[in-house]
Amino acid sequence: MVSGRTRRLAAVVVLAALAAGGRVTPAQAEPPATGVTGDCLECHGEPLTAEAGGRPVDLMVDPDRYAASAHGDLGCSLCHRPPVHVSLEQARAAALDACDTCHENHDFGPAGTSRPGFFVHPDPPLGCAGCHGDIHAVRPRDDSSSVLNGANITGFCGPCHREQTDAYLYSYHGSARRLGSRHAPDCGDCHGHLPPVSLDPQVPTSREGEATCLACHRGGAAALANLQETGREHVTPLTTGAGLDGLARRAVWKLFLAVIFFNVTKDGAVIVFDLTRRLRRAGRRE
């Protein structure tokens, strides 16, 4: 069984290969008679690979996952307009244009039409599948299985933003979200799912500066000013290179581990020696 993450990675590979500008050479190059789903899936519904830029590209679309996806009722030809079976470069440009047809207020990265104030994944530039995973299996964000839904988003941001994602999951926000809280923010609630997002890399939050935190922590402006000056977010006891933020957490963590070790050793010694002594005594009496 292929995991969702593998599929997302496969989708990224497809786009990367598409970006490389290779030519699709399907094993079965017979073009479909029409653009309707059933005909396309006769070939693409089965394992199908092509080669682009010297690398294999998976061209299979899982019929069941596609049918259950947000795009399942659109049909192939809405996005893949004829002529199909063109070069990968052409196919990619056509696909981005196709997304723009419906999702017109979303920026599509370096090849898209950047609009001021709209989300651009800065570096590396990612296409649609880079964020949304396999476009043929994409789910609406309010679907619990969507990669952009709640805590799932960490599995999505995590591969690149590992340290921040681990720290988020360690945090109260992350723990609460993972346990189903609807109030705790996920990655996108602070950093932006959709526009508007700050394009300032120093303030990578979805609203300008402090408005991100104060949207939930109302009345916390004075606290925020102090907190922003005296530490940073996304730090765990294992975070290195975070100065006092990491050191203080690590010191407290290690101190408590040492006390836990001491206490269990003290209690454990009393319990084991007490019981052993009683066992010997019980044996003598019998």
Partner 1 sequence: MTRFDFHARVQHGLLAVSLAVLILTGFPVKFAAQPWARAVVRLFGSFEGLLAVHLAAAAVLAFTALYYLSAVSLALARRRLDFSIVPRLRDFGDFGRHLGYLIGLRPDAPRFGKFTWWEKFEFWAVVWGTAVMGASGLVLVFPELAGRFVPRWAVGALRVAHSNEAVLAFLAVVFGHTFAVHFSPHVFPGSTVWLNGRATLSQLHEDHAMMYEVLVSRNAAPPRPMKESRWVRSRPLIVTELAAYGLLIAAVYVAVVPHLLGA
The per-residue DSSP string of 23-73 comes to: B---SS-PPPSSSSHHHHHHHHTS--EEEETTEEEE----HHHHHHSTTTT
Of 73, 172, 202, 241, the one binding partner 1 by CB under 8 A: 172
Which residue type does 153 have? I
Of the pair 47, 183, the CB lying nearest partner 1 is at: 183
Of the pair 114, 171, the CB lying nearest partner 1 is at: 171
Of the pair 86, 227, the CB lying nearest partner 1 is at: 227
Query: Residue 7, Cα to own-chain centre: how many angstroms?
Result: 13
CA distance 32 to 229: 62
Residue 67 sits in the site that holds partner 1 (CB under 8 A):
no
- Cα-Cα end-to-end distance for the chain: 62
Of 30, 179, 201, 202, the one binding partner 1 by CB under 8 A: 179
CA distance 194 to 105: 9
CB of 275 to partner 1, least distance (A): 5
Of 200-259, which residues contact partner 1 (CB under 8 A)? 217-220, 222-224, 226-232, 235, 237, 243-245, 248-249, 251-254, 256-259
**Number of residues that make up the chain:** 286
The residue ranges that bind partner 1 (CB under 8 A) are 169, 172, 174-176, 178-184, 217-220, 222-224, 226-232, 235, 237, 243-245, 248-249, 251-254, 256-261, 263-264, 266-279, 281-283, 285-286
